[in-house]
Structure 1
């Protein structure tokens, strides 16, 4: 695991607080006064002479005026350091939250091309009908290993296809196999760009965006951020006519050149958001703006075939502990219905859930 500088801020030595600076400045003032008074400086390496020197320094008197001047100097230095840090405008709680990035943020990478092959094979075995997405992932992982990237980031991708085929499940499997956090956002429920970018202070309920919250909580700079049904996100407009669309809010985050120094509206600090893996899903592209689509790799996916659904039923049924009779009945329904009606894994999951509920129900006498 690699560490990267994630936040555009400077962190001072935590031991260099106001009290420590005051003591250091007082000691320096005593040394100057002692030398002015003709006290012999200590002999390097002579332990007894060092004791003598320390005793001489302690004997140097400091007036209340001296101590007040030293305290003012220490406070000026602390103020200048706070200003130079880029965090002085934040509350104490927010500074503490960002203090976690003093040593940088973690990047999770792919260990080898062999590991990339294993991940792709495992996901494909679970969801073979998502082959286009898995192939895109596989090539991106192998390329990341070959060029020696410190961490893995999937190029921004839009999975477009019918509802219920497992686009969101595919992204969860991706996060699980990569071992990185996953942030899920529903385009239908959270339409404004605030959910991604955060809102500026001064609003009634100011907050940082969900992707940044995920990174702050996990200290991992390359999570997977999934936005489901992005085409259903509306574009709220303020009373002044300013639009806050989700797609528009994503534009600077999808471009690596702008994401590397993205400024958070809430913290008003720059962050390196360029390592996020963006996975978006849609059922249609018709309502999505061209500038937004131009920043994405668009993969058009078809639903699973009859054989895929039967294999999914057998695997998922075995995980749920269903008996042979129940699984055979569900597979028979799929055989009879799949040719005339559109079935997807969501339909099958509901049938499996009903079978599981029936299997666990008490017998009626």
Structure 2
């Protein structure tokens, strides 16, 4: 078992990584809760919902709520449905919500927990690699037609329980998606780790390497959010690659590309932009070769209009008065946030499409 403590302004909480922990949840959850609502999606439910509820029902009154899988469920409609489920189950302030699933489930269930009865406890129980990032740090949200995560709050879980065994059923696109965030953490922190990842072929990923990468990624995320919990400065660096990624996701329609795959492509553009704007020396070619070798879906961007993508970027949460602020790297491990003019951004994005997307 691997255990890390995360410090937050409201409370400290533990992140536990252990294979098979879903079978012994009552040993890791406070026994003062009377009722538990397990929120999951229809795909995860097929694999793990019964196992999780069976490990809980001897000690708690257990209710379940299943939403459709995919980013489109981070919606006002599903948010309202889950609130209805909370009322139907008669959850009180001493009840617990467990978010069993990937980042979508964690964001949605966490936002419900943050607002139902002005806030009840919730536990993140990630079942994807991608969610090693979203489950830590307390950001919970739903999407709006104008952009991703525009309706939300900062609300920390009371615990993160990560069963590594649940990652063995992930399809290839979810492994790629997760490693979009893993390599982001590496680029923000450690050149040697980046070089190690460049040697990785995702279809040959071992459980040992996966566990090591997840632990490193959580530590990077924890170190940043402990210093800047509410994204006033340093935490904005975690948005490396996300400005273009969110625009791509919104333009393609939620679910048209996985979040982490979009992030990985967005990082490629951020590296190019960093070299152009800061004269940084970065492993742009090695990075692009790595994501192409691992079949990140560049083809999905063909046909997208760069002007529309830039309009989407103006709704990014880092934008100020619709001036786009970008997370760039002066070098691996040295990020910064800088405003980028619309003309410069247009030129660089068009170049990125010519040289990377269509090449």
Q: TM-score, normalised by structure 1?
A: 0.22
Q: Which structure has more strand as a fraction of its residues?
A: 2
Structure (1 or 2) with the larger CA radius of gyration = 1
Q: Larger RCO: Structure 1 or Structure 2 (Cα < 8 Å, ≥ 6 residues apart)?
A: 1
Q: TM-score, normalised by structure 2?
A: 0.23
